[in-house]
Amino acid sequence: MPVPANASTGTFNFIVMRTKYFSHILALSVIVAACCKSDDPVMEANCLEQASFPSESVDDTAYNCCPDCLLDPEELYFAGQPYDYAEPCFNPNNSSQIAYYRYNTSTVEAGWEIWVQDLCTGEKRMLVNDANYGIDWSVKDWIVYTATDQQIYMIKSNGDSLTKLTFFGDYNRRPKWDAKGDRIAYVCQAGSAGHFIILNTSTGLRDTISELWTAGAWNWISENEVSYANATGGGGITTQYLRKIDLSSRQSTLLHTLNIVGNNDSLLLSTDYSSSVNSIIWCAYGTIGRTNINTGAFEVIKDAYRQESFYNAVVSKDEKHILFDIRSRKLLGPCTYDSDYGLYIMDLNGKNQRRVKIE
C-alpha cells in the first residue's frame, strides 16, 4: 500500500503496523493450512480415532441354534438397524476418506449403494446404487467396481464421469487398481471360459493370464507383481494356497498354505500389501493375518469370534491401520437370528479394534 508524500509520521506508523498485522495473519493462515492438509498422517490418524469407538465382541456363542434342522435359521431384519455396511476401502491419497457399500435391509434391491465419507468432516455422498462385486479407489481419484450387470465401471469420488470399462463376459469381478492408477486386475468369465485380465483403463490394452482365471483374493504387490489365492479340495479338506506372480515372467511363487477342515475359517477373501512390514495382509472368514512376501512366514493377527465373519481388509496410506468389515450374528429366538454388517479399524498388529461411525 503506497504512502502519500505528505502523510504524517503517525499515519505512516499506523500503516506499517497494519501491514505487519496482516502479514502475521497471512503467515498464521499458511501455518494453519499446512497443519490441516488432508495428507497429514497425524490428522488422518486422529480422524480415524475420532470417527470410531472401541468395539470388541464379547458374546462368543454360536448363532446356529438348530444345527440338525433341515432348513437354515431364519434371518430377521429390524428398522432400528436398517443398513448393512461392507467392502470398505481407503482413499490412497487421504486415509481419513473411505468408500464402502451400503445396503438398505428394509427394501429388496438388486445392488448395493456405494458411498464415500470424510471421517474428519463427516461429509458423505452416494455415488451409485447398483454395485455388486468389489470396490477400489485409485491415486487418480477413480473408484472402480462391478455393477449388477456384471460389467466393470469407474466413477470419480465426487460422483462425476461414470465410465463403463468392460462390455462383454458373464462375470467381470473385483477390479483392483495398481499403485499408479493406470491398470486394473480382474477376472472375466464368459460361459465356461475364464481369464485373469490386466487392463490399462487409459489405452484399453489388455494382458490376459488364462492360468489365473480361478484365482481369488488378488491384489497388487508392486508394479509387476500380484498376490492371489487358489485352492484344491478332496476328502473333506480344502487346501488354500497364497501365492504371488511376476507378471513379466509369469513365474508364480508359493508363499504358504492354509487347510480348511469342516469350516470356512481359512477361506481367503482379500489381500492387500504393506511395505512397512513387507507383507501381504490377508483376510479370511475367521482370521486376519500377514505373510512376509520374501520368506512366506505368516502369522494370524486377528481371530473372529464364533458368531463373526471377516470379509475384506485394507491397509491405510500411513500403513498404521487396517480397515475391515465384520458380519456378526445374534440369536433372537428358536432358529431365528439377526445379522449386522459393520466397518471396523484396528492397528496393523491387530490391536485396538474400533467400529467406524457411519451417521
Which of the 8 DSSP states describes residue 42?
A: H
Report the alpha-carbon distance of residue 325 to residue 323 in Å, rounded.
7
Q: Encode burial over 44-62: b for 16+ CB neighbours within 10 A, e otherwise.
A: bbebbeebbeeeeeeeeee
Query: If DSSP states are collapsed to H, E and C, what string results for 232-298?
Result: EEECCEEEEEEEEEECCCCCEEEEEEEEEECCCCCCEEEEEEECCCCEEEEEECCEEEEEECCCCCE
CA dist 240 → 228, 262, 268 (Å)? 10, 14, 8
Percentage of the chain with pLDDT > 90? 53
Identify which of 294, 162, 153 has the alpha carbon closest to the alpha carbon of residue 227: 294
Do 337 and 78 meet the contact criterion of CB atoms below 8 Å apart? no
CA dist 223 → 145, 184, 279 (Å)? 21, 11, 16
pLDDT over threshold 60, residue 29: no
Rounded CA Rg of the chain? 25
How does residue 231 score in pLDDT terms, banded at 50, 70 and 90?
confident
H or E stretch at 171:
strand 171-177
Mean pLDDT across the stretch 68-88? 74
CB atoms within 10 A of CB 248: 8
More confident residue, 152 or 16: 152
Identify which of 136, 85, 80 has the alpha carbon closest to the alpha carbon of residue 106: 80
Q: How many CA atoms lie within 13 A of 103 on its CB side?
A: 19
Do 104 and 82 meet the contact criterion of CB atoms below 8 Å apart? yes
Report the alpha-carbon distance of residue 321 to residue 333 in Å, rounded.
37
CB atoms within 10 A of CB 174: 26
Report the alpha-carbon distance of residue 296 to residue 203 in Å, rounded.
35
Identify which of 178, 265, 161, 193 has the alpha carbon closest to the alpha carbon of residue 227: 178
103 bridge partner residues: 84
Q: What grid cell was written down for 183? A: 491398470
pLDDT, one tens digit per residue, over 262-291 is 556 668 899 999 999 999 999 998 899 999
The β-bridge relationship of strands 336-347 and 74-75 is parallel
DSSP string, 93-138: TEEEEEEEEEEETTS--SSEEEEEEETTT--EEEEEEEEEEEEEE-
How does residue 14 score in pLDDT terms, banded at 50, 70 and 90?
very low
Among the ranges given (146-155, 295-304, 330-339), the one the predictor scored with the smallest mean pLDDT: 330-339
What pTM was computed for the model?
0.82
The β-bridge relationship of strands 152-156 and 163-164 is antiparallel
pLDDT, one tens digit per residue, over 104-156 is 887 777 889 999 999 989 899 999 999 998 999 999 999 999 999 999 999 99
Region at 236 (left for phi over 0; alpha for psi -120 to 50; beta for the rest): left
